[in-house]
Amino acid sequence: MGGMKRILAINGSPRGRASNTQRLVNAFFEGAAQAGAACETLFATELDIHDCVGCFSCWNKTPGVCVFKDDMPGVLEKMLDLDLLVWATPLYHFGMTARLKRIMERTLPLAKPWIVRDGEHYHHPIRYPGRMAPHFLISNCGFPERHHFGALVEEFRLLVGKRSEAFLGSILCASGELLKVPELASRTAWYLDAVRTAGREMAERRAISDETARTLERPLIDIQSFVVMANATWDVPGEVPPTPEEALGGEPLTPETAAMLRMLRMREATDSAKGK
Ligand SMILES: Cc1cc2nc3c(=O)[nH]c(=O)nc-3n(C[C@H](O)[C@H](O)[C@H](O)COP(=O)(O)O)c2cc1C
């Protein structure tokens, strides 16, 4: 089987082009382009897409055609004859964003109403066999623990993990807000390098190597340091943030976190001496 030639990503972040999600997509695409793939991103923020209203016209009255004449027919057209369809979303309440879900719901015209057995389970048959690409998921989330992605990944397995439309894997970046912090760029560059490698591997051989997959599962920075740093970035009028000790629930400090705390406290002391 040859390399991938055409890859499309649909980015569901409300932050669009400036999103952490897009930082990951861009790195993935840089790698895929090195392997010769032509890559494109569609931004949900730039598309006019109505909610699916469940009329099922696209299944019975006008098979394959939705009643809404918005941007979605063009998106459906672009989804056909790809080598890979990348769903890209920040984690919102343990799932994809509403914008991405809206687009996903409007893919109903790509299926037919019948219920037929496909492997172990019953599914709706796809309307254009041989023209549907395998799927891939790119996500990032605010919390530092990867278990936050559990429901999202399960949803994708159920949605697209059929024999006809394989789910080829995912890149799931916890503590993703760190990606946009310029001061931390040198500490997060290794992760984006691994995403680039994943993009190249995927385009070359339709799979991410075990070594790259393991690298992508490593935390961007250690969880304690992340929690202390994240809490210190919020400046909320009238509210007292938890102390680092409270936030860490009594867990003993790692040497890295202790060093970071010393630095933060020195900065607080300097700021208060300056009357900030
Ligand atoms: C409404 C909302 C819900 C969120 N829900 C979660 C969540 O369930 N778990 C999590 O770890 N982060 C959650 N986050 C944090 C985002 O995933 C995080 O800010 C992410 O870096 C945003 O990525 P983006 O720049 O690609 O939009 C949520 C953020 C918002 C605004």
- Protein residue closest via CA to atom 15 of ligand 1: 142
Predicted pLDDT of residue 209: 97
CA distances from 252 to 175, 222, 244, 263, 266 (A): 21, 13, 11, 18, 21
pLDDT above 60 for 90: yes
Residues 6+ apart with CB under 8 A from 209: 197, 201
What pLDDT does 264 receive?
A: 77
CATH number of residue 111's parent domain: 3.40.50.360
Q: Say whether both 73 and 174 belong to one domain.
A: yes
Dist. CA 101 → ligand 1 center (Å): 15
Average pLDDT, the chain: 93
Residues with CB under 6 A from ligand 1: 13, 15, 19-21, 90-94, 140-143, 148, 176-177
pLDDT of residue 97: 98
Domain count, the chain: 2
* Residues 234, 232: Cα–Cα separation, whole Å: 6
pLDDT of residue 168: 93
- Of 20, 92, 137, 227, the residue with max ligand 1 atoms within 8 A of its CB, to mutate for a pocket test, comes to 92
Within-domain flag for 128: yes
> Over pLDDT 90: what percentage of the chain?
77
Give the model confidence (pLDDT) of 8-67 as tens digits.
999 999 999 999 999 999 999 999 999 999 999 999 999 999 999 999 999 999 999 999
To test the pocket of ligand 1, the residue of 91, 145, 149, 153 to mutate (highest count of ligand atoms within 8 Å of its CB) is 91
For the residues 173-186, what does the mean pLDDT come to? 94
Same domain, 230 and 153: no
Give the CA angle between residues 175, 179, 182 to the nearest 5°.
130
264 Cα to the center of ligand 1, angstroms: 25
Range from 32-36, 117-121, 165-169 that averages highest in pLDDT: 32-36
Q: Whose CA is nearest to atom 19 of ligand 1?
A: 142
Give the least confident one: 124-128, 138-142, 229-233. Answer: 229-233
Same domain, 178 and 256: no
- 77 part of a folded domain: yes
Task: Answer whether residue 267 shows pLDDT above 80.
Answer: no
171 in any annotated domain = yes
Q: Please list, residue by residue across 163-188, b when 16 or more beta carbons sit within 10 angstroms of its beta carbon and e when fewer do.
A: eebebbbbbbbbbbbbbeeeeeeeeb
pLDDT > 70? residue 190: yes
Domain identity same for 135 and 12: yes
Answer yes or no: is 1 within a domain. Answer: no
- Atom 31 of ligand 1 has which residue's CA nearest to it? 92
Paired tokens of 18? 């400036």
Residue 133 CA, ligand 1 centroid: distance in Å? 28
The residue contributing the CA closest to ligand 1 atom 18 is: 142
Beta carbons within 10 angstroms of residue 237's beta carbon = 4
Domain-terminating residue out of 202, 220, 238: 220
Q: Looking up tokens 């790259």, which residue turns up? A: 212
Q: Where residue 71 falls among pLDDT bands split at 50, 70, 90?
A: very high
59-64 contact pairs (CB < 8 A, 24+): 59/108, 59/109, 59/111, 59/112, 59/113, 60/113, 63/112, 63/127, 64/109, 64/110, 64/127
Q: Is the pLDDT of residue 2 over 90?
A: no
pLDDT band at 214 (very low <50, low <70, confident <90, very high): very high
The pTM for the full model equals 0.94
Ligand 1 atom nearest the C-alpha of 89 is 26
Q: 242 with 108, same domain?
A: no
Q: Is residue 24 part of a domain?
A: yes
If asked whether residues 107 and 208 sit together in one domain, one would say: yes
Helix (H, G, I), strand (E, B) or coil at 235: coil
Structure tokens, 147: 């278990």
Residues 236 and 208 in one domain: no
Residue 18 CA: nearest ligand 1 atom is: 25
The reply to whether 70 and 101 lie within a common domain is: yes
Q: Kindly state whether residues 171 and 251 are assigned to the same domain.
A: no
Q: Are residues 118 and 191 in the same domain?
A: yes
Looking at the fold, whether 190 and 265 belong to one and the same domain comes out as: no
Indicate if 215 and 253 belong to the same structural domain.
no
In a domain, 258, yes or no: yes
Whether 266 maps to a domain, the answer reads: yes
Give the residue numbers spanning the domain of 232.
224-273
- In this predicted structure, what is the pLDDT of residue 161? 61
Per-residue confidence at 253, pLDDT binned at 50, 70, 90? Answer: confident
* DSSP assignment string, 162-195: SSSS-EEEEEEETTGGGGG-GGGHHHHHHHHHHH
